[in-house]
Structures are given as structure tokens and as C-alpha cells.
Amino acid sequence: MQGQTKPAVAEPGLMRMTLHVWRQKNRQSEGRMVTYTADQISPDMSFLEMLDVVNEELVAKGEEPIAFESDCREGICGSCGMMINGIAHGPKKETTACQLHMRSFRDGDEITIEPWRARAFPIIKDLVVDRSSFDRIIQAGGYITAPTGGAPDANAIPVPKPDADFAFEAAACIGCGACVAQCPNASAMLFTAAKVAHLAVLPQGQPERYARVARMVDQMEVELFGNCTNHGECSAVCPKGIPLDMIGLLNRDYRKARVTGDRRGDDTP
Amino acid sequence: MAVSVAPVARFYRTSVGKKAIMAVTGAIGVLFLIGHIWGNLHVFEGSEKFNSYAKFLRVVGAPVFASSQLLWLVRIVLLVSVVLHITCAVQLYQQSRAARSVQYRVHKNPGATWASRTMRIGGVIILLFIIIHLANLTWGWLHPSFVEGDVYHNVVALFSLWYVTLFYVISMLAVGFHLDHGVWSMFQTLGFRTSRNNIVLRGVALIFAVVFVIASCAVPVAVLVGIIS
Amino acid sequence: MTVEIAPRAPATGTELWNVSPDNSMLDAKDPGGPIESRWDRHKFEMKLVNPANKRRYTILVVGSGLAGASAAASLGELGYQVECFCFQDSPRRAHSIAAQGGINAAKNYRNDGDSVYRLFYDTVKGGDFRSREANVYRLAQVSVNIIDQCVAQGVPFAREYGGLLDNRSFGGAQVSRTFYARGQTGQQLLIGAYQALCRQIDLGNVRMFPRTEMLDLVVIDGAARGIVTRDLVTGEVSSHVGDAVVLASGGYGNVYFLSTNAKGSNVTAAWRAHKRGALMANPCFTQIHPTCIPVSGDYQSKLTLMSESLRNDGRIWVPVRAGDTRPPNQIPKEERDYYLERKYPSFGNLVPRDVASRNAKDVCDEGRGVGPGGLGVYLDFADAIKRLGKHTIAERYGNLFDMYQRITAENPYEVPMRIYPAIHYVMGGLWVDYELQSTIPGLFVLGEANYSDHGANRLGASALMQGLADGYFVIPYTIGNYLANMRAGAYDLGNVAFRETENEIAQRTQRLLAIKGDRTVDSFHRELGKLMWDDCGMARTDASLRRALARIPELRAEFWQNVNVPGDGAELNQSLERAGRVADFLELAELMCIDALHRTESCGAHFREESQTPDGEALRDDEHFSYVAAWEYTGVGNPPTLHKEPLEFEYVHPTQRSYK
Ligand SMILES: Cc1cc2nc3c(=O)[nH]c(=O)nc-3n(C[C@H](O)[C@H](O)[C@H](O)COP(=O)(O)OP(=O)(O)OC[C@H]3O[C@@H](n4cnc5c(N)ncnc54)[C@H](O)[C@@H]3O)c2cc1C
Ligand code: HEM
Ligand code: HEM
Ligand code: SF4
Ligand code: F3S
Ligand code: FES
């Protein structure tokens, strides 16, 4: 169980590993860990391609394949995600599970694969979880009210480059949920803060700035995420390397929204 | 000026609000500790100076404040802070525990520090320490030979016992760890930490924690080894 | 090699397809008049739905990519009741998220001579004269509004130090009109549209159905009235009724199995609509992207695109000698063939996508390809690093180099990258008129799903533009023109057509699950993909297409007898989802080959080896093929019926493309 943190070794030839995978039929049923052997694994395979190979064999044997999500397989859609040996998206920094390659592992490794675990992310099947709580956090206010058609010329309001760059850094979040999965408190702070920060530093985001953070934080609580105790594990596993600065910004804006009374745009009673 | 309490109540209801309260109350605690440890170091100046310092604490603020009034004010602030700090800590702990009902089989902690991961257990140790500490040096319940008003004696008599000094040193290490994460964390919680000042804040917190442990342990250790007697 | 092009295919091919009996030409409802004011005038002429009545109309939007999300949000804002569907767990994950390079707009912020007319001209020409002028002009016109809209939503486009928007030139364009957000333009635009959509969901104007797959279109009294869906978590099949249906379900490049598309991209929604009567236009027009990371093994599940911008500084070469297996840095300069620079001295490595792709295939066919399997060419930065320094190159392409290294474990600063073309985008799709309405009244098609504005070849950075143009600025107007003529809520779920369609879907699902044969879904998909790539890929011949047309029905028959779909239909079953999609690909593939076979000319990305200029470039046959081929479904395995929309070029006159 040590190999995965060691530097990548491109060994010639194929590898065999032992997988311990969480299998759970559906939301209601109880799950358990099941052990499989992944054979003939090329170091050039991605982690998900390795699972594809295991699944093809399972189907050939008449068993149900391991359910896991993926779509883009390029590290941008945020669909994929699983705990690989206790680290969200696996051992490689700023890398999603779909972009993790088997050369990060060694022949004979044991790999434990578990779904994201959080009450706000109920398991649907095997490694597939329901992350709609993230959508509801955005629905609660994670937007700028800009109805189609009424926008001024795009260059009418210059945005200082540092602000634009900071906004981009925050907006790079792919909504994968690794932050929640890794956080010892199952907190959604990094995700929520990234969105808050993205819109809070742009001039277009000012009118609703404080109402937005207030509503989004309230929704985060409703969804039963944990609280943030500033562990920083979220940022360490975030495939887009979203920094903890975003959480600091959320904290500041939330305080302003609720205490110092900067309640611009806040129409909540 | 009409101040609505509703926003504050809403603030308190969310984890972000509670956390801010922890940071503010923690900061009050930090200020107290700075003063308290600084005061304790007066022990090295001998019995008279130290006892008069203890007396000074009770009369300070006169004539605006009557005897011990300011002390009580500080005590109340401290008490309220500790109660708020602990209440928030407990409520947040419950919230996090509920947020992950099924635990991972394997869970590593990239990015986290040992200090951050021991905040809760460290807090409990500190709470126990405070109770025992008060019972020793303020109320005298556990003290072998408590003399009301002779703080110097109380200190020296107490720390002459090796197991008491050991207990204090261990407790101070716990407080040190709590502060190493806590002082840094406070800035993050209040929104003053950024990637740029992170190194500085980490350093400030670490140095503060180390200085605190050394300075606070100095008194009991000095008594035990006989520098103070 | 010159080949004479006679209109022989339509004559010899009639056993494979029919030409619509009355030979009626499709009416694109192009309003005509001066092209500059055509759209504005038409907007004025279209009927409006009374604001108070909008609430009574229900619109079903299938898809939440750039086209679908922007449409659903905008229609919700207008006051319609919208239901929006996607198969991913969140609308934010639609395939549009993967677009890297950028989005075009005729803002002329650079003062470099760009204009709406120039963007229009470039797009028509780039499409090799197989698109409809009126649509393309409108696209160029509203491109300007798209950028305004996105900036207002908070899309963090790249900016310059003065705070104004930055631009770059892209895909060989001679002006800088591409707006971008580092390598994540698609994600940032989609998040903008998604957030607008979220706002409408919160306001109750849009109901979102994620993890819900549309499996059929319900047509009643000749018009689209609803859809039948499967809930991917519970397996429940149910119906949704609406006054109009908007399909924005993306492209079908995954018919080739290996493509740059997201794994889930599929043709199901469009194909089922086709089977209900919507014509499918130019299905064989498939774009191949020249700079993708080559296949590394049989397990390969998809291909990864490397931004085209790499060609600005990288030099493409292969060894002069076939079978040269020396490592690249041991091959001396004289033994390298920088074939693009050699053949196209003025454009060099920056020739359009189709030209670059075809040339890479040619050198590999000659046995000069590099890397495992000989399917790759070098994209070498050594000279650029020498000239500009490693630092500059890292600044420009650092992210891409990292991505390449992550996937291949090779360091492109030291070893040349290996690249190979891959399927990337489909220009074909459901046929639509000027108002984006298909041949089924009430069925509108947006984004990559429609036979789009890109003709036979799409220019870089213009798919995002088209998706958002359709969703934000076209459909909100044109759907009103349709709805204004009809009574809201005229049909309800009680209609027997819904029950019947649901039953058909349930039966089909049962059938797939009951086979329990010996082969996995993926094995069929891979085989189909390989066959399509070999025979209907970068270069097509009469013989290759006929070969494919012989094999596809066999494969389809085997699929329905021997596929193994484990599990059951009453829960999340990813094999079942894939099986349904592959079943549709197996039908679509046949139509693509027929379309490619019937079009004996080469144009844009469609390269018929029989039709090339003396120096091997695509040779159009405007006399016989200046039309959109729109196919009507006549039953599985039956010859489809060809309808034609003639293309007339009033403004941009067809010329032979040349990049010498
Ligand atoms: C790697 C890559 C890079 C690209 N880069 C660029 C670029 O730089 N610039 C550019 O202009 N273009 C680029 N493109 C092309 C462009 O991204 C796409 O053409 C465009 O995003 C398509 O958008 P869309 O809204 O039409 O469809 P999509 O984004 O594909 O969305 C389809 C939607 O339909 C839904 N859907 C599909 N079928 C069903 C069904 N049966 N039931 C329910 N829902 C369904 C999906 O859930 C999804 O929400 C790129 C493409 C790729 C692959
Ligand atoms: C008087 C002594 C104490 C001091 C000076 C102190 C100080 C602090 C500080 C500064 C923080 C950081 C707040 C932040 O992250 O913003 C903190 C956090 C914490 N304290 Fe204390 N504390 C004290 C006592 C206690 C006690 C008695 C407990 C427990 C019963 C406790 C439990 C915690 C916990 C759990 C945290 C982490 C909370 C979080 O980060 O969300 N502390 N403390
Ligand atoms: C080893 C280090 C310490 C020493 C030597 C020490 C010593 C003392 C002494 C002598 C008193 C009595 C003062 C008086 O009655 O005038 C006292 C009181 C007190 N100490 Fe400490 N202390 C130490 C550490 C701490 C720490 C770490 C805390 C908090 C976490 C703390 C909290 C208190 C409190 C709350 C009182 C009561 C103050 C009052 O009278 O209101 N002490 N301490
Ligand atoms: S903040 Fe990072 S880890 Fe969290 S959802 Fe966004 S991208 Fe994933
Ligand atoms: S790991 Fe968790 S505690 Fe906060 S800093 Fe990250 S959310
Ligand atoms: S599959 Fe899209 S990020 Fe991994």
C-alpha cells in the first residue's frame, strides 16, 4: 500500500494489481468491499481505462461491471471521482482520476477504491454518488443576474488583469466534489468559496455580491455539509488547485453580509 | 440606531458564522494568554514583586473601577468567550460528524497538519486543564497548601510537586499545538489570510506557539529545578 | 492524379438510396433581401407571443450544453415554462465543457480589419461552400452580442493589462477575433450559461431533469408534442408533453468510438427524431482534428486533443525514410521531412485542419509514421525553444505540455511530441430551416446537433459561437413565431401516442436486456468505430464505402443477437445506456456511408479520393453537389430517401481553396 505515493516509474511490461472496490447496488442497500485482480495493466493506461478493462472481464464472466462516472476523460467535466487509497482522485497532484495513469502505481500494488463519502452526496451505485447538492448551492445564488440581451458592450467595463486572473483561478473549479470527499469534515467550503470568489472580484458581480454569499452559505448548511476547520486537505487534492484564499474571501464576505451590514441586494427577510 | 438582531442570529446559525465566533473568542483567549504568561514571568522577580503584581490586578482601574471590578469584567469576558468557543466547537463537531456518517476504509490527510487534526482533542485537554488549573491556583481546592492572597507561595508549593509540573508541561504542549493551528486559522477564518501572507502567518503562529510553550513552562520547570523557591 | 467527376454516383447508387420522387427541393424559409438586414427584418416580421400568455406554453429542451443551457435559460427568462434534460448528473457537465481554444466574434477590438462581413465570408469559405449564407451571416452578426452577454454573466475571459479583453488568432484566421479563457473557454462559457439556467431553475421557470435520457420523440398530428425519457437512476420510463421540443443534444462523433468527444456524447436523441420524420443532413461531414495524442494501446477509451495553437510554434515532421526507428533526436535534419512546410510554403504548419490531417495520414500510410504502431507524426518545439527560449514556450504552452506529459510520460521540452489526427466534430446533423426548425413542425434543433452553419468544414472557435448564437439569440425569437400560431397546452399526457411510445421504449429496453449474448457493448462499439475510421474516415473511396455498407448490417444483426447487457432496467445500468446508444450508432453509420458514397465530390472535410486536384487537394463539384443532402428515414436497412436543399451563393462566390 506504499507504492502509490512513490514517484512514477515507467516499467516495461504489464502489471497486476489487487483492487478493493466498494460495491453497493443502490442507494438503499448496504455496500461492501469486494476484491478483484486487475491483470495485464499497461502503465500507459489511465486509471479509468484500467477499470474499463476490469469491467469488460466482469461482464464476460456474467457479473455486473463496477459503476463509476466519467465523461470527458480529459480532467475538465468533473464527472469522474473516487477515493484511491484514501486520496480523492488518487496520488497525483492536480490530476483527476481520468487523467491519472497507471504508471503512478507499481506491479503488485493493492488499491482501495471508494466512492466520495458525504451525507450530502448519497451513493447511487458503487462509485457513483449524487452531487446535486452542488447544483442547489449554485441555484441559491451562484450567478449574476444578467438576462439575455441587455448586456452592455463587453469592453464597456474594464476589469483589471489581476482581478480577471483571480476570477479565472476561482472559476476553474470543475465541481467534482473531491474537496468534500477529502475534507475530514465533509465540508463544501472550497467549492462554494470558489464560486463566491469568482463572482465577487468582478465588477459585474458587485450588485449581488453580499446577497449571493449569504444565500449560498445558507444553502450549504441546508444540504448538510460539514464545517470548515481550515485543514486544507481540500485544496491539496483539488484537481484545479483552487487555493484556500477563496475560503478566506468567502469568510470575509459572509461576515460583511451578515454582521457589518453590507447587505447589498439581500432581500431575504 | 436600530440594530436588528436577525442578521446576527442568522450568522450564528451557519457554520461559517460559528467559526468566526470561534476565531474571535479564540483571539480573546490568545490576548489573555499573552497577558497571563507575561504576568506569570514576574515570579522570577521574587515573592514581593509577584504578589504585588497579583494585587495590582485587583485594584487596577481605580478610581473608575472599584476593587476587582475590572478583574471581574475581564473574567466575565473570558468566561463568555470560553463558553461560546466551546459551544461552537461542540456544535460544529456534531455537524461535521453528521456530515460523514459512513467512514472511509482508507483515508489519508494530504495538506493537513498534525496540529489541525488535533484541535478538537486538544481543546478537550485544554478544558480539563483549565478546570484543574483553577481548582489549583484560584479556588485552591486541589492545592496542597493554598494561601489566599499569597500567589507566590501557591505557585512555588504547587510546582514543587513533579507530577503537577509534568501535567502542566503536557498541557502547555497541547495548548501550543492548539495555538500553532489556531493562530493561523484565526486569520483565515476572519478572511485576512492570503497565499501571499500565508508563509508569514504560518511563521507567526509557529513562533507564537513555541514561545508560548517555553514561556509558560518556564515557571513550573524553574520551580521544580529550584531556580525559584 | 486527376479524376474525372461525372454525376455517376446518383445513377449507380439508387439501389442504396432513393431520390425523393417529386424531387421537391427543401424550403429553407430564407426570408431573402439584403443579407445585412435580413435577420433584423425577419425578427420584426415574426409573430410574438403575448407576454401574459408565455407562461402557458411549455417548451422541452433536450441538452444542457452551450446550445441547450443558453436556450433553456433565455426561454425561461422570457416567461415560458421550460423543462430541460441532460444525461449527465449536472447540466454543467455537458460536453461543451471540454472546448479549449476559444470563441470567435466579429468585435474588431484589434482594429485589424475584422467585421461581421469578414467573419461571414471566412466561415462560408472555410466551410467549402456547403453552408447556407443567410444562417452564416446571422451567426456572424450575433457573435458580437454573445461576448457582451458572457462578460455580463461573469465569464472570466483573458484580459490585457489595461483591463480590456484579449484576443488571439486561431485556426489560420488572418484576424485576431478569438476570445478565450486560458485553455478552458468551453467550461467558462458553459458555466456562464449554466448559472443563468440555475437562476431560472431557482425562480421556477425551468425544471431541470438531470440523469434523464430522451429516448424518443412523440409526434402527434404531424408536430412534435413531447418526448419519452428514461430516468437513468430508477430506470423509469416516462413522458413529457410540451408545445415545442428543442433538441440541443450535441454531436455524434463517437460513432467512431475513438474521438475527442466526451464518452457519453451520442446520437440517440437526434436519431430517434430522425426516425420520427426529421431529415438528417450531410451526415458524413465529419471533422478530423490534426493535433491529438496518438493511440497508445487497445484499451484506449478516447483521444485527447492538444490545442491547435501548438502549430504556431511547433514544426511537424516525419523521417524521410520509411521504417526509420531511430529516436527523433538522432535523426539528422537532412533526413527529416517537414512535409507541410515543403508542400505548402506559404501556410506551412498552419494549413487548415482537414489539410493537416490528411497529410499526416498520407505520410503514415507511406510507412513513415512514428511511435507505437506507426500512427503518429512529430510536432517538434526544439527550434522554437532555441529561438524563443524555454521560458517563453513554457509560458505559451506550459499547460498543454504538462497535459501531454501526464498522458504519455514524455517530456515535450526534450522529445518532440507525437500527434495524430482524431475525429473531433460533426458538421452533419438534423436539417433545419432559417428558424432552426426541423422538418417536423415544433421540433427545433440547435448547436452541434443540427446540420450547422459550418458547411463541410468548421473553422476553429466557431462551434461555441454557433451553440450560443442559436440558444441565446435565435431560438428565443423563432420559437415565438411558431408558438404564436398555436393554442397553448393543446395536448396532454393522456394522449395515446405517449403510452404507445413508452411501450415501444420499454420493449426495446427489455429486448436489449434479454439477449445476454457473448459480446460486450464496447466490443461492438470498437469494431464499428474501427470500421468507420478505416472506410468512412479521413479519406473515403467508393470501394471503402461499399465495403462498410456491406459490413455494417452484419454487425448490427450480430449486435441484436449477441450483445451482453448485464443487470436489469430498473436501476442505474451504464451498460444498458451504452447499448442503446451503440444500437443507434449502428444505424447512423450506415446513413453516413450512404451519404459519403452519394457525394462523389470532395469538399472540406469530406475527402473522396476519386475527386482531388492534381496536387491532392479536395476537389469540389459545384455543378452536381452544391446542395445540402437531407435524408429521410424509411426503416432500418431500407434505402433512405434523399431530399436536396440547393445552395445559392449570392455574396461569397465559390472558389477552389488554396493554401500553397
Ligand atoms: C475537445 C474539444 C475541444 C473543442 N474546442 C472547441 C473550441 O475551442 N472552440 C469551438 O468553438 N468549439 C470547440 N469544440 C466543439 C464544441 O465544443 C462543440 O461542438 C459544442 O460544445 C457542442 O455544444 P452543444 O451545446 O451543441 O452540445 P453538447 O455540449 O454536446 O451538449 C449536449 C447536451 O445534450 C444532452 N443530451 C445528449 N443526448 C441526450 C439525450 N438522449 N437525452 C437527454 N440529453 C441528452 C447532454 O446531456 C448534453 O447536455 C471542441 C470540441 C471538443 C471535443
Ligand atoms: C483558552 C484557551 C483557548 C484558546 C486560546 C483557544 C484558541 C483557539 C483559536 C485561536 C482557535 C482558532 C479559531 C479559528 O480557526 O479561526 C481555536 C480553535 C479551536 N478551539 Fe480553541 N482555544 C482555547 C480553548 C479551547 C477549548 C477549551 C476548546 C474545547 C473544548 C477549544 C476547541 C477548539 C477547537 C475545536 C477549535 C477548532 C475550531 C475550528 O477551527 O473550527 N479551544 N481555538
Ligand atoms: C504554566 C503556565 C501557567 C501558570 C504558571 C499559571 C499561573 C496562574 C496563577 C498563579 C493564577 C492565579 C492568579 C491569581 O489568582 O491572581 C492563574 C490563574 C488563571 N490561569 Fe493560569 N497559569 C498558567 C497557564 C494558564 C493557561 C494555559 C491558561 C488558559 C488556558 C490559564 C488560565 C488561567 C485562568 C483563567 C486563571 C484565573 C484568572 C482569574 O483569576 O480570573 N493559565 N494562573
Ligand atoms: S473546488 Fe476543486 S475539488 Fe472542489 S469541486 Fe471544485 S474542482 Fe473539485
Ligand atoms: S479540508 Fe475541509 S476543513 Fe476546510 S480547508 Fe478544506 S474544507
Ligand atoms: S471524466 Fe471528466 S474530469 Fe474526469
Q: What is the pLDDT of residues C486-528, one digit of tens each?
A: 999 999 999 999 999 999 999 999 999 999 999 999 999 999 9
Confidence of residue C23 (pLDDT cuts 50, 70, 90): low
Q: What is the pLDDT of residue A3?
A: 37
User: Residue C570 burial (CB < 10 Å; 0-12/13-18/19+)?
Assistant: exposed
Arithmetic mean of pLDDT over chain C: 94
Q: Determine the residue among C87, C95, C260, C301 to mutate to test chain A binding: the one whose Cβ has the most chain A Cβ atoms within 10 Å.
A: C301
Q: Which atom of ligand 4 is nearest to the CA of A180?
A: 4
For residue A4, pLDDT over 80 is answered with no
* Average of per-residue pLDDT across C576-597: 98
Confidence of residue C396 (pLDDT cuts 50, 70, 90): confident
* Average of per-residue pLDDT across A74-101: 97
For residue A265, pLDDT over 80 is answered with no
Residue in C162, C409, C572 nearest the CB of A125: C572
Residue with cell 404531424: C222
The response to whether residue B193 sits with its C-beta less than 6 Å from ligand 2 reads no
Q: What is the pLDDT of residue C1?
A: 35
User: pLDDT, tens digit, for every residue of B90-116?
Assistant: 999 999 999 999 999 999 999 999 999
**Bridge partner list, C319:** C336
Q: Is A25 on the interface with B (CB under 8 A)?
A: no
Helical (H) or strand (E) element with A259: none
Amino acid symbol at C156: P
Q: What are phi and psi of C200, to 5 degrees?
A: -70, -35
Confidence of residue C96 (pLDDT cuts 50, 70, 90): very high
The SS3 call for residue C347 is coil
| C-alpha–C-alpha distance, residues B161 and B210, integer Å | 24
| C-alpha–C-alpha distance, residues C255 and C582, integer Å | 8
Q: Is C158 on the interface with A (CB under 8 A)?
A: yes
Short-list C257, C129, C144, C192, CA closest to C529:
C257
Q: How many Å separate Cα A196 from the centre of its chain?
A: 16
Question: Is C438 within 8 Å of C617 (Cβ atoms)?
Answer: no
Confidence of residue C347 (pLDDT cuts 50, 70, 90): confident
Question: How many angstroms separate the alpha carbon of residue A76 from the centre of ligand 4?
Answer: 11
Confidence of residue A258 (pLDDT cuts 50, 70, 90): confident
Question: Is C312 within 8 Å of C459 (Cβ atoms)?
Answer: no
Q: Determine the residue among A15, A28, A58, A74 to mutate to test chain C binding: the one whose Cβ has the most chain C Cβ atoms within 10 Å.
A: A74
For residue A10, pLDDT over 70 is answered with no
Interface contact C191-A172, CB threshold 8 A: no
Interface contact C88-A44, CB threshold 8 A: no
Q: Map C274-324 to HEC letters.
A: HHCCCCEECCCCEEEEEEECCCCCCCCCCCCECCHHHHHCCEEEEECCCCC
* Average of per-residue pLDDT across C226-236: 97
Q: What is the pLDDT of residue C658?
A: 73
Q: Is C86 on the interface with A (CB under 8 A)?
A: no
Assess whether the previous peptide bond of B63 is cis (omega < 30° from 0). Answer: yes
Three cell numbers written together for C395: 509560458
Residues 111-130 in B contacting A (C-alpha not used; CB under 8 Å): 111-113, 116-117, 119
Confidence of residue C24 (pLDDT cuts 50, 70, 90): low
Q: How far is CA B63 from CA A119, B57, B66, in A?
A: 58, 14, 6
Interface contact B19-A233, CB threshold 8 A: no
Q: How far is CA C89 from CA A120, A133, A195, C82, C209, in A?
A: 14, 11, 19, 19, 9
Q: What is the DSSP string of C529-570?
A: HHHHHHHSSSSB-HHHHHHHHHHHHHHHHHHHHHB---S-SS
Residue in A73, A125, A171 nearest the CB of C156: A171
Q: Is C111 on the interface with A (CB under 8 A)?
A: no
Range of weakest confidence among A174-183, A240-249, C136-145, C392-401? C392-401
Q: Which atom of ligand 6 is nearest to the CA of A71?
A: 1
Question: Is C513 within 8 Å of C576 (Cβ atoms)?
Answer: yes
- Among all bound ligands, the one having the nearest atom to the CA of B147 is 3
Q: How far is CA B172 from CA A116, B118, B123, C549, in A?
A: 38, 14, 12, 81
For residue A229, give how far its alpha carbon lies from the nearest alpha carbon of chain C (Å): 28
What is the number of CB-based contacts under 8 A between chain A and chain C? Answer: 220
Question: How many angstroms separate the alpha carbon of residue A67 from the centre of ligand 6?
Answer: 15
Residue with cell 493537513: B112
Three cell numbers written together for C31: 426570408
| C-alpha–C-alpha distance, residues C229 and C506, integer Å | 10
ipTM of predicted complex: 0.95
* Average of per-residue pLDDT across A126-139: 98
Helical (H) or strand (E) element with C646: strand C641-646
For residue A95, give how far its alpha carbon lies from the nearest alpha carbon of chain B (Å): 14
Beta-carbon contacts of C37 under 8 Å, excluding residues fewer than 6 positions away, are none
List the residue whose alpha carbon is closest to atom 2 of ligand 3.
Answer: B216
Arithmetic mean of pLDDT over chain A: 93
| C-alpha–C-alpha distance, residues B134 and B155, integer Å | 12
Share of chain C above pLDDT 70, in %: 97
For residue C240, pLDDT over 60 is answered with yes
* Average of per-residue pLDDT across C365-373: 92
- Among all bound ligands, the one having the nearest atom to the CA of A244 is 5
Ramachandran class of A81: left when φ > 0, alpha when ψ lies in -120 to 50, beta otherwise: left
- Among all bound ligands, the one having the nearest atom to the CA of C227 is 1
* Average of per-residue pLDDT across B122-148: 95
The response to whether residue A71 sits with its C-beta less than 6 Å from ligand 6 reads yes
Q: Map B8-73 to HEC letters.
A: HHHHHHCHHHHHHHHHHHHHHHHHHHHHHHHHHHHHHHCHHHHHHHHHHHHHCCCCCCCCCHHHHH
Question: Which positions in chain C touch A153 (Cβ < 8 Å)?
Answer: 148
User: pLDDT, tens digit, for every residue of B79-88?
Assistant: 999 999 999 9
Question: Which positions in chain C touch A56 (Cβ < 8 Å)?
Answer: 520, 522-523
Q: What is the pLDDT of residue B8?
A: 75
List the residue whose alpha carbon is closest to atom 7 of ligand 4.
Answer: A173
For residue C5, pLDDT over 80 is answered with no
Question: Which positions in chain C touch A93 (Cβ < 8 Å)?
Answer: none
For residue A101, pLDDT over 50 is answered with yes
Range of weakest confidence among A60-64, C92-96, C173-177, C228-232? C173-177
Q: What are phi and psi of C657, to 5 degrees?
A: -70, 140
Question: Is A75 within 8 Å of C186 (Cβ atoms)?
Answer: no
Question: Which positions in chain A touch C409 (Cβ < 8 Å)?
Answer: 8, 10, 43-44, 101, 103
| C-alpha–C-alpha distance, residues C447 and C431, integer Å | 12
Chains contacting C with at least 3 CB pairs below 8 Å?
A
Other CB atoms closer than 10 Å to residue C123's CB: what's the count?
A: 28
Share of chain A above pLDDT 70, in %: 92
Short-list C660, C657, C659, CA closest to C126:
C657
User: pLDDT, tens digit, for every residue of B205-215?
Assistant: 999 999 999 99
- Among all bound ligands, the one having the nearest atom to the CA of A80 is 6
User: Residue C147 burial (CB < 10 Å; 0-12/13-18/19+)?
Assistant: buried
* Average of per-residue pLDDT across C169-198: 92
Q: What is the pLDDT of residue A12?
A: 61
| C-alpha–C-alpha distance, residues C640 and C629, integer Å | 11
Ramachandran class of C405: left when φ > 0, alpha when ψ lies in -120 to 50, beta otherwise: alpha
| C-alpha–C-alpha distance, residues C647 and C91, integer Å | 36
Chains contacting A with at least 3 CB pairs below 8 Å?
B, C
* Average of per-residue pLDDT across C450-477: 95
User: pLDDT, tens digit, for every residue of B39-79?
Assistant: 999 999 999 999 999 999 888 877 888 888 899 999 999 99
Largest CA distance in chain C: 75
Question: How many angstroms separate the alpha carbon of residue B62 from the centre of ligand 3?
Answer: 23
| C-alpha–C-alpha distance, residues A218 and A268, integer Å | 11
Residue with cell 431553475: C201
For residue A74, give how far its alpha carbon lies from the nearest alpha carbon of chain B (Å): 23
Catalytic residues of C: 353
Range of weakest confidence among C22-26, C294-298, C593-597? C22-26
Q: How far is CA A84 from CA A182, A225, C36, C233, in A?
A: 11, 22, 57, 24
**Between B107 and C10, the higher pLDDT residue:** B107
Q: What is the pLDDT of residue C551?
A: 97
Question: Which positions in chain C touch A128 (Cβ < 8 Å)?
Answer: 572
For residue A56, give how far its alpha carbon lies from the nearest alpha carbon of chain C (Å): 7
Helical (H) or strand (E) element with C342: helix C339-343
User: Residue A92 burial (CB < 10 Å; 0-12/13-18/19+)?
Assistant: buried
For residue A247, pLDDT over 80 is answered with yes
Sign of the CA dihedral running B28, B33, B36, B41: negative
Residue in A59, A75, A144 nearest the CB of C153: A144
For residue A269, pLDDT over 80 is answered with no
Ramachandran class of A204: left when φ > 0, alpha when ψ lies in -120 to 50, beta otherwise: alpha
Residue in A48, A64, A67 nearest the CB of C301: A48
Short-list A22, A104, A258, A69, CA closest to A177:
A69
User: Beta strands of C52-154 (E only): which ranges?
Assistant: 58-62, 81-85, 103-104
For residue C319, give how far its alpha carbon lies from the nearest alpha carbon of chain A (Å): 25
Q: What is the pLDDT of residue C659?
A: 72
Helical (H) or strand (E) element with A16: strand A15-23
Three cell numbers written together for C139: 451567426
Question: Which positions in chain A touch B102 (Cβ < 8 Å)?
Answer: 117
Residue in A62, A69, A164 nearest the CB of C159: A164
Question: Which positions in chain C touch A133 (Cβ < 8 Å)?
Answer: none
